[in-house]
Structure 1
């Protein structure tokens, strides 16, 4: 386990990393895009080939801290003039091995962009399986992976006073939350994870993060928070003695019970108007769709909650088991793979599980004890930039709150404009006078594509921030020679949906 990080030594290391230009873009540039893609897949050979023969600080630090490869002591000393070899040894990040320095942890640059701007952090974590050269230990502290980048990107970037990061791991979500939240409590069952969190906060000069050891909401006691975020250990794992129980991904419960416990328990720790966001898995079980099971969890919450649940992927039991067996470093050709696969499939069969969904959950405690007004459970399969949609989610919530406060007369009196990322596509048969399909396409957000009829297409196109929606609908009714009142009844509910999904915006 890491020793408690010494602030002065950490500051010296940060100075050295900065002086070496040890940043995401610089490292990627040093070995190229193809090698960088290979590193993401756990293949370090191409990156090492690209850096061969280089002994400059950037190359030395990239090999040592990104790839986890031992380096000559003299080269490391030259790359770290302030912290020195003794500094990273004292921090528990490396050890001496003859004339070389062997890494004991990774320190990888991680870039992040949100409405507040761009940052480049250094994130320390345990050695990955490529550096270890085999299966990971069960107490492994994970670095920044695809799931954690997704959650960091979907955090709503609106100001808040108090935040809670449940299952913080290396601390990336706490650091991300701190950009918009004044004070963050980061919790984990792993003392090692909390030390990495404290190290990473110091390394990046981020204050206002308090760490507490414990499971789920236990460390929060009776406190409430304006923001709660969690990338919990949601991986569904057989409760069998010889199946590895990795702390970073396995919460020790059966099936998807951990996500269920989070959803049903988080409301008590949300302040009025507070928002909770998490990643999770849910089972389609006994013929009940996974999203419907999540809906039932929300409805069982003792604290009424608004809910927006987005399913991004569904895997069958075999594919799910293979994914997480490989994640632990056991390949299909390795001894024991078949045994692990059988354990997973037996576990799923015992609950009649036919599919496993993955996605994200946004829950909100209505302000002032108001009744929930949002219950949205949807599947979004198209590829999109998960790492930059937090602002879209915040905008959707703001639009929802404004829309539900308006009756149809109020909505008709509202002045709207179409969003700048919206385009229209029309498809028609050769020689046909009218299109057979009209689509509105969204460039940002969830990259939605919506089929519309000529009336709605005409309304969206006319929403330029000038005239109220009702006036435009009346004009379209006259043009199409249909009843204006009937057209309002038809269009206004769809306008509400387009406002929530971001195709339309209020002009004021």
Structure 2
């Protein structure tokens, strides 16, 4: 499917480095407004900006190499073969043809793939890669093909930001697509296994790994867990093809988003079968959809899927779309323009399917599962959080990792041991107080989290006093005793009220153990 000649790919890598084909360089060339326009699927500002940029070191008549590559591979415009040869001198036109990057038509070349720079920050520092995928709607000027291999999209960025980066021996990337999650996983794993049902996707993923010098990923063809039958992993990550698509003739079945099952059955299967492929203490992280229907309410359905798996679970629902909005989103995602007969035909098919199965809405969110090292599961948390992410979504992996550590720490303590512990207020937490005009006492007290999920919790005077005294010096029990005396309330009743709330503030990240 794709040429994996290490010599040619090595030449391409050196050419891309020499051309400074990077996110930073492209932003310099076409500017922030054009970058924002591209995010809205509008390329004219970027084309205009690049047409004015030449390489000053080589003379006014020589295009900037990064600009040439962007026009060809990102914006999807034909390019004179001579300009591409100048931008990729070591690869050359013959090498680009052999690698399957372009096709030639006389004196011009046209891109066959999307090739673009990608940059990121993770617990191991700043990184950058080049990612090959199929040409998008902007370059094609038409709807996507059903075998389309998606590049780094919004869901990809969400999952990579959620990924826990703790060093492990093995990671499974289930449904790897262009390979972006497997590449991220290679930063913290000794070995990675990447699977996909699409041989085209695996070819691109293998190409991307080679292009970026990553040699710790093994690629296997097959559906879901079939290629890893009988194997267990320390970490599973998956952006599965979870989009709910009508099983109706004439509705496109895009491999990158449609797993071929009815409704949300694919996500249910991934959740249930993860237990068989995790090592003790192993964690699975995935994105998914779940239906609101006569068969069950959103998170209640997910809870039913988890029953009997023996897994710890934290499920965060981020959005709920009604059936109409959900259909519109995914029809448009495939490149079908709104207000066209084809769009209306597909819209009818989606709504017919939802009505037949009595689905009125669809939820989207994050699923984190863990196989306990021993004993029964200790964590079952399913919640809806639709507010803005605290700092940014790309930093949630560290928040999730700390959540697991703190959950385990407090779960191992009985109430007496929790009272004997010392706590700290997390550095991103602020307190807000609201007063009626002229009032001495606040009417509303709340804590706000600047990082993590950006939670806000209402508190009362007793809990506010406890949190305010958590400086790592006084034990929780001593603080509660002092507050009871100050407020002239029953110590035992206050203790019974505050300790569960302290546990909740610990696991949600408002408080942290002084010893961790």
TM-score normalised by the chain length of structure 2: 0.96
Residue 58 (structure 1) aligned to one of 62, 66, 78: 66
For the pair 1:157 / 2:160, whether they are aligned, the reply is: no
Contact 2:2 2:204 (8 Å CA) reproduced: no
User: 1:344-493 alignment to 2 at 5 Å?
Assistant: 344-368=350-374, 370-384=375-389, 385-493=392-500
Size of the alignment, in residue pairs? Answer: 504
* Counterpart in the other structure of 1:45: 44
For the pair 1:28 / 2:36, whether they are aligned, the reply is: no
User: 1:225-374 alignment to 2 at 5 Å?
Assistant: 225-286=233-294, 288-301=296-309, 304-368=310-374, 370-374=375-379
* Counterpart in the other structure of 1:210: 218
Distance 2:129 2:2 in 1: 21
Provide the secondary structure at the position in 1 that maps to 2:220. strand
For the pair 1:500 / 2:507, whether they are aligned, the reply is: yes
Provide the secondary structure at the position in 1 that maps to 2:215. coil
1:151-200 CA deviation, whole Å, 9 max, x = no partner?
01101111110110110000000001111111100000000100111111
* Counterpart in the other structure of 2:3: 4
Residue 172 (structure 1) aligned to one of 180, 204, 210: 180
Residue 97 (structure 1) aligned to one of 87, 98, 105: 105
For the pair 1:122 / 2:127, whether they are aligned, the reply is: no
Distance 1:450 1:84 in 2: 60
Provide the secondary structure at the position in 2 that maps to 1:389. helix
Distance 1:505 1:408 in 2: 16
Distance 2:34 2:73 in 1: 16
State the 1:334 CA deviation.
2.3
TM-score normalised by the chain length of structure 1: 0.98
Distance 1:125 1:151 in 2: 18
State the 1:65 CA deviation.
1.9
Distance 1:29 1:426 in 2: 44
Distance 1:423 1:238 in 2: 47
1:290-341 CA deviation, whole Å, 9 max, x = no partner?
100000000143xx00010000101011100010110111112223111100
1:94-122 CA deviation, whole Å, 9 max, x = no partner?
11122112100011111111111110111
Distance 1:447 1:312 in 2: 13
Distance 2:394 2:152 in 1: 13
Distance 1:489 1:287 in 2: 38
The structure 1 segments of at least 4 consecutive aligned residues displaced by more than 6 Å after TM superposition are none
Distance 1:98 1:40 in 2: 32
State the 1:430 CA deviation.
0.7
1:108-163 CA deviation, whole Å, 9 max, x = no partner?
11111111111011111000011111011100000000001000110111111011
State the 1:378 CA deviation.
0.5
User: 1:181-192 alignment to 2 at 5 Å?
Assistant: 181-192=189-200
Provide the secondary structure at the position in 1 that maps to 2:282. strand
